[in-house]
Amino acid sequence: MELNGIKPADGAKHYKRRVGRGIGSGLGKTAGRGHKGQKSRAGGYHKVGFEGGQMPLQRRLPKRGFKSHLLKFNAEITLTALERLGASDVDLLTLKQAGLVGQLVKVVKVVKTGELTKPVKLAGIGATAGAKAAIEAVGGSVV
């Protein structure tokens, strides 16, 4: 094999379509653009979402939803995760070190998903009403 003998695999490269180069090419005269109209003209087209003057879909539909930029600072943790953690005293730092919440998190809340068998003392962590009842039922506390 020589450098001057290397060529791409069959079908890997294809020629650009040369439009407007005579009748015999099959793409002469109107060059595949049809007759008249906005799409046939040079530089004549429309922006994304334009529907010919009809009210565009993104404006016809109602605005809906909202995502708070503060969400990255909030986190929730389940009773199952607390059970697996196995610590008797739990605070924000403990959860961050265990990797159960992100490093940016400032507010954590315990939700009632799963079971808890060991007593856990929560400090500086919120809990839903159901989760609080479950924690206190096994002898834990929420401060």
For residue 1, name the pLDDT band (cuts at 50, 70, 90).
confident
Spatial neighbors of 113 by CB under 8 A, at least 6 apart, are 78, 79, 80
**Half-sphere exposure in the Cβ direction for 44 (13 Å, CA):** 9
CATH (residue range 71-142): 3.100.10.10
- Distance separating alpha carbons of residues 30 and 113, to the nearest angstrom: 67
Q: What is the pLDDT of residues 112-132, one digit of tens each?
A: 999 999 999 999 999 999 999
Q: What is the pLDDT of residues 86-96, one digit of tens each?
A: 888 999 999 99
User: Exposure pattern of 42-51 as b/e (b: 16+ CB <10 Å)?
Assistant: eeeeeeeeee
Domain with CATH 3.100.10.10 in the chain: 71-142
